[in-house]
Amino acid sequence: MAAVDSFPLLLREIGRSCSSYIETLALVGAFYIAKTCLSLLGDAYTLIRVHFVPRLLRKADFVKLYGKWAIVTGCTSGIGKAYADELASCGVNVILISRNREKLEAVAKDLEESHQIETTIVVADFSHGREVYPSIAKALEGKEIGILVNNAGVFHLGCFTTLSEQHIWDLINVNVGAANMMVHLVLPGMVQRKKGAIVNVSSLSCIHPSPEMTAYSASKAYLDHFSRALYYEYAPKGIFVQSLIPGFIHTKMIKHISLFSKESLFVPSAEEYARQAVTTLGVAKRTTGYWPHTIMLMFGRHLPEWLWFWGIKRVHPAEKRTD
């Protein structure tokens, strides 16, 4: 009988001793919920401020804000071509840099006829390394470069050991080296004029390590960090630097992936993407440029790495270049 009576007493004693721990856990839970709610509110505010408010306003006068000329690398197709067209529609003259002369001439002719602006073409293969930059520097002489869009890139899929030595050097020279050297060429003039804008096209793959595109995602993470650091370094001198981190765009790079073979809300055309991305120039220092991709970013950065890895393995594009 005594043993029976003591059991409820034991439960009460256990409850008293645990009450402080329960209260602590409740406070931790409340703090986490409050933090998550505030984060979601902040994300919602950013989504509206960056992607919707600018589209309600008039197009920015990029010539007045930054300068008469823009440089776009990797501009003969995809994002680069569409972004060049958007800048030209705003009255900005465009310097087109890519490795294929025929395609460059076709894009230049189209821009001049459609928007009555001036163009200059520069044939350069960034995979050749430092030897291409003297000719680029000569072509830029005497021009007020207001905007630089570093879009040229190379993509290789596969485990790291399957990449050839040339593939690795291409990733270094095109994805990393070209952006650094182009910024190095134009930034002094921007600082002298106390105005200018630099857009480095990274990728949504930069938010987590991405297996089977290891070197590619690492190069895009480099661009993202490079852009963000450069922003804080040169914003006080009147230079706006943007890290643009798009998700999948319906271009030739991914057209053979069954999952993304058709345009959709989350896989826009290059033209639709560029139309929205240009409106974020001068507004957000780090953005996807496209509001559905921003929603993907919000979820993606909270995904555990194992789930991100699982998603990456569902995608199997072949190697492509965007210049």
Nearest alpha-carbon partner for 148 in 74, 228, 73: 73
Mean pLDDT value across residues 264-281: 95
CA 103, 129, 147: angle at the middle one, nearest 5?
A: 60
pLDDT for 318: 47
At position 321, the amino acid (one-letter code) is: R
Confidence of residue 121 (pLDDT cuts 50, 70, 90): very high
Residues 125 and 167 in one domain: yes
Is the distance from CB of 246 to CB of 201 less than 8 angstroms? yes
Average pLDDT of every residue of the chain = 89
Torsion (CA) 211, 212, 214, 215 in degrees, nearest 10: -170
Q: How many structural domains are present in the chain?
A: 2
Asked if pLDDT for residue 233 goes beyond 90, the answer is yes
155 and 70 within one domain: yes
CA distances from 179 to 10, 72, 90, 94, 171 (A): 69, 11, 24, 17, 12
Whether residue 47 is found in the same domain as residue 114: no
Tell me if residue 216 is catalytic: yes
pLDDT over 60 (residue 118):
yes
> Which residues span the domain enclosing 91?
60-321
81/200 same-domain check: yes
Choosing from 38, 57, 76, the residue where a domain stops is 57
Confidence band, pLDDT 50/70/90 cuts, at residue 159:
confident
Residues 67, 31 within the same domain: no
pLDDT > 70? residue 10: no
**In this structure, what CATH number is given to the domain that contains residue 244?**
3.40.50.720
Same domain, 201 and 254: yes
> Which tokens go with 311?
């998603």
- Could you say which of 66, 83, 216, 290 is catalytic? 216
Check whether residue 99 and residue 47 sit in a common domain.
no
Token pair belonging to 189:
């003039």
Looking at the structure, do residues 8 and 75 belong to the same domain, yes or no?
Answer: no
pLDDT at 319 over 60: no
Which range among 130-134, 198-202, 256-260, 272-276 shows the weakest confidence by mean pLDDT? 256-260
HSE, CB side, 13 Å, CA atoms: give it for residue 30: 6
| Cut 0.85: pTM above it | yes
Could you please report the per-residue DSSP string of 256-288? T-GGGSS--SSS-BHHHHHHHHHHTTTT-SEE-
* pLDDT of 13: 67
Residue 101 shares a structural domain with residue 36: no
In this predicted structure, which of 17-21, 39-43, 118-122 has the lowest mean pLDDT?
Answer: 17-21
User: pLDDT higher for 23 or 184?
Assistant: 184
Give yes or no for residue 1 having a pLDDT over 50.
no
Q: What are phi and psi of 193, to 5 degrees?
A: -85, -10
Q: Looking at 57, 81, 98, which one is the last position of a domain? A: 57
Q: Is residue 168 over pLDDT 60? A: yes
Q: Give me the mean pLDDT over the 198-221 stretch.
A: 92
Residues 6+ apart with CB under 8 A from 190: 67, 145, 146, 196, 198, 234, 238, 239
Same domain, 98 and 233: yes
- Are residues 115 and 52 part of one domain? no
User: Looking at the structure, do residues 27 and 137 belong to the same domain, yes or no?
Assistant: no
